[in-house]
Amino acid sequence: MGSGPERPSQALLRLVNGYQVTQALHVAAVLGIADLLTDGPRSSDDLAAAAGAHPDALYRLLRALASVDVLREEDGRLFALTPIGDGLRSDAPQSVAGWAAFVGEPYYWQAWGALLHGVRTGENAFQHVNGVDPWTLRAREPERSASFDRAMASVSRQVAAAVIAAYDFGRFGTIVDVGGGNGAFLAAVLAAHPSTRGVLFDQPHVVSGAGPLLVAAGVADRCETVSGSFFDAVPAGGDAYVLKAILHDWEDDDCLRILRTCRRAMPDGAALLAVERDLGAPNAAPESKFSDLNMLVAPGGRERSPEAYAALFAASGFRFVGFTPSGAPAGVFEGTAA
Ligand SMILES: C[S@@+](CC[C@H](N)C(=O)[O-])C[C@H]1O[C@@H](n2cnc3c(N)ncnc32)[C@H](O)[C@@H]1O
């Protein structure tokens, strides 16, 4: 970095070249570099041997990551983790390793490469590139499905503590997590509130991978897993139904189908809790605005304002109660089965 304030053209160039950082982080995550540095600094040659990488090429990757404060380079081509890079360890408390490994996978990366097509035509970029929607592709390809589930668990861990601190899930007896992935969020809720019970609902190939995570969180004896499609039916009789990062995957018509399926399963007065981002004000909330673009590119959904969620709730048999922000980039849009 040069000295002095960044000129607008430099700032623009840094934004333009953001793809390079994403791909460098992806490669470091896939090679498990941060895990290899857990016990302290190691030389780049040592890391190359351990990770099965080309020594000179890996050194160039590592020094680039050290230039953006993910690693620190010491004398003798030794590398250490910085506080930022520590989050690339797979067992870091707020690990983003799963997300970093996922976003650079060719099938996903190439969908983002078709953003121009999507913006020109309004068509879904993922479908354009891969010929199917992401859910169909992952149902066919177990490795892609496992990688995505791990990525979502990464993202869930980023927000779970803040959402659980901001919203009282402890007042419910049975919490049904609809489209709950491998259970990272529900496990955190159940662990925080020992009097609650959980039902994890997702597609068969997804819930089948949830066991180890529920056991590790110490909640397996309070959590049932059920598989199916939220377009058909979800488990009945819960006190609260969580939809975390579900509605943003879909356009309004499909959201209404999902919400109506939930409503049919819910007793009057049960709570519908959509854990989602608030789209945010103009010129602000870049995480939400870029998540919205991610929804445009891949699943074909969108991020929404509280008003938009309130309208979806009203059209599907729920009274909108309000939005509880958490300080993290997700809060709880709450409805009551009317
Ligand atoms: C963006 S992920 C969110 C996962 C989890 N709720 C979280 O926040 O980490 C969307 C989830 O919806 C699930 N899903 C997609 N289509 C589904 C369907 N028809 N029925 C049930 N689950 C579905 C996926 O398997 C995936 O786990």
Q: Specify the ligand 1 atom closest to the Cα of 153.
A: 9
Active-site residue, 193 included: no
- Give, using CA atoms, the residue closest to atom 14 of ligand 1: 179
Could you give the C-alpha distances from 268 to 104, 240, 265, in angstroms and in order?
Answer: 44, 11, 10
Q: What is the pLDDT along the chain (338 residues), one digit of tens a residue?
A: 456 899 999 999 999 999 999 999 999 999 999 999 999 999 999 999 999 999 999 999 999 999 999 999 999 999 999 999 999 999 998 899 999 999 999 999 999 999 999 999 999 999 999 999 999 999 999 999 999 999 999 999 889 999 999 999 999 999 999 999 999 999 999 999 999 999 999 999 999 999 999 999 999 999 999 999 999 999 999 999 999 999 999 999 999 999 999 999 999 999 999 999 999 999 999 999 999 999 999 999 999 999 999 999 999 999 999 999 999 989 999 999 99
Same domain, 164 and 70: no
CB of residue 160 inside a 6 A radius of ligand 1: no
Residue 166 included in any domain: yes
Q: Return left, alpha or beta for 105; rule: phi > 0 is left, psi -120 to 50 is alpha, else beta.
A: beta
CB of residue 179 inside a 6 A radius of ligand 1: yes
Pocket-testing residue among 96, 132, 203, ligand 1, by greatest number of atoms within 8 A of Cβ? 203
The domain in which residue 164 lies consists of 159-337
Residue 183 included in any domain: yes
Q: Of 54, 73, 90, which marks where a domain is finished?
A: 90
**Where do runs of H (alpha helix) occur along 193-322?**
204-207, 211-216, 252-265, 286-297, 306-314
Same domain, 164 and 283: yes
Same domain, 326 and 186: yes
Residue 151 included in any domain: no
Total domains in the chain come to 2
Cα 183 to averaged position of ligand 1 atoms, centre (Å): 10
Q: Which residue has the tokens 């953003």?
A: 115
CB of residue 174 inside a 6 A radius of ligand 1: no
Residue 187 included in any domain: yes
Q: Check which CATH number belongs to the domain holding 253 and give it.
A: 3.40.50.150
Residue 2 included in any domain: no
Q: Check which CATH number belongs to the domain holding 63 and give it.
A: 1.10.10.10
Question: So what's the pLDDT on residue 188?
Answer: 97
Same domain, 185 and 312: yes
Could you give the C-alpha distances from 262 to 195, 226, 276, 335, in angstroms and in order?
Answer: 23, 14, 17, 12
Same domain, 70 and 189: no
Cα 213 to averaged position of ligand 1 atoms, centre (Å): 16
Question: So what's the pLDDT on residue 1?
Answer: 47
Question: So what's the pLDDT on residue 46?
Answer: 98
Same domain, 197 and 310: yes
Q: Of 34, 63, 90, which marks where a domain is finished?
A: 90
Question: So what's the pLDDT on residue 4?
Answer: 85
With both helix axes pointing from N to C terminus, report the angle between 252-265 and 306-314 in degrees, rounded to the nearest 10: 50
Question: So what's the pLDDT on residue 66?
Answer: 98
CB of residue 156 inside a 6 A radius of ligand 1: yes
Cα 255 to averaged position of ligand 1 atoms, centre (Å): 13
Q: Return left, alpha or beta for 187; rule: phi > 0 is left, psi -120 to 50 is alpha, else beta.
A: alpha
Question: So what's the pLDDT on residue 157?
Answer: 87
Q: Of 75, 90, 105, which marks where a domain is finished?
A: 90
Residue 220 included in any domain: yes
Residue 194 included in any domain: yes
Q: How many CA atoms lie within 13 A of 270 on its CB side?
A: 21
Cα 202 to averaged position of ligand 1 atoms, centre (Å): 6
Residue 82 included in any domain: yes
CB of residue 185 inside a 6 A radius of ligand 1: yes
Cα 246 to averaged position of ligand 1 atoms, centre (Å): 6
